Amino acid sequence: MSIKPELPRPLPLATRTGVSFDFPKSEYVLSLERGLAVIRAFNERHPSRTLSEVAQAVGLTRAAARRFLLTLGALGYVESDGKYYWLRPQTLELGYAYLASVPWWRYGQRVADSVAQETGCACAIGVLDRDSVAYLAYAFGNSTQSLVRSVGTRLPAYCTAIGRVLLGALPEEELDVYLASVPLEQLTPHTVVDPQELKSAVRQAVADGYAIVAHQLEPGLYSIAMPVRDRQGAMCAALSLSLRDAPGKGAALARDYLPALKRAAADIASALPA
């Protein structure tokens, strides 16, 4: 029998999403914002960029972009061949710093791997980060190899099962603000974009203890999700299973996959201290 690691209790989800940073404008460090924007200018579609491309992507002058790139290069975050710039592996430290602050994510990844192997579905563990779901753990399923997902993946909350579960932890007024301010894009012909319908779906997920979506994010993609709660009952994350071309409707998904989800959520929760 495996011994579960002793893990610090995570903050409740509301604590992570409800803090407001309200301070005088004079305290805002604009140069830090721009430096982070330069790092974010590099991605899967743009692994390398010229100085002009970085400046255009971030909205800086060439001179300002050059200063930021030179500074990031001196700090070990950027490399260049004289024409193109790209990120160095040291940049991983920035993302890992967050994961390291969530000590249970390693155990959560092992649970996700186990559930994906058991069910054949892709398994994700995520938290709400402003208006998106951020994946802390992910394991591929047999029918979802084509999905481009990994730790750090960000998805809209309103059209995903895991997102609707996480939104259910928000106070009523915060949910209303979210639905009024987030662009609700029609990603498929079936995507629900009416704020009142979405609010009803979130509240139904709270009442049921889980959420199911079909064809909301991508055609043919089905997902079921439920909360991960600590021993005090506070939601600290959500856990989901996704598959393509599910043979049945919601009742069948709940019947076939909810038991595995419940066991996984309980497994993670039991590893957290009282």
Query: Could you read off the pLDDT of 20-78 as tens digits, one per residue?
Result: 567 788 888 999 999 999 999 998 899 999 999 999 999 999 999 999 999 999 999 99
pLDDT mean over 220-226: 94
Copy the structure tokens of residue 162: 């895991």
| pTM score | 0.79
Where do the CATH 3.30.450.40 domains begin and end in the chain? Answer: 102-270
Tens digits of per-residue pLDDT, 74-123?
999 999 999 999 999 999 888 888 877 777 888 999 999 999 999 999 99
Q: Kindly report which listed range (11-15, 19-23, 181-185) carries the lowest average pLDDT score.
A: 11-15
SS3 69: helix
What pLDDT score was predicted for residue 244? 87
What is the rounded CA–CA span in Å between residue 111 and residue 117? 10
Based on C-alpha coordinates, what's the Rg of the chain?
A: 20
Query: Which residue intervals of the chain bear CATH 1.10.10.10?
Result: 28-90
Return the residue matching tokens 């909360």.
Answer: 227
pLDDT of residue 3: 41
For the structural domain made of 28-90, what CATH number should be given?
1.10.10.10
CATH top-level class of 102-270: alpha beta
pLDDT of residue 143: 67
Q: How far is CA 42 from CA 45, 51, 56, 124, 154, in A?
A: 8, 12, 12, 25, 16
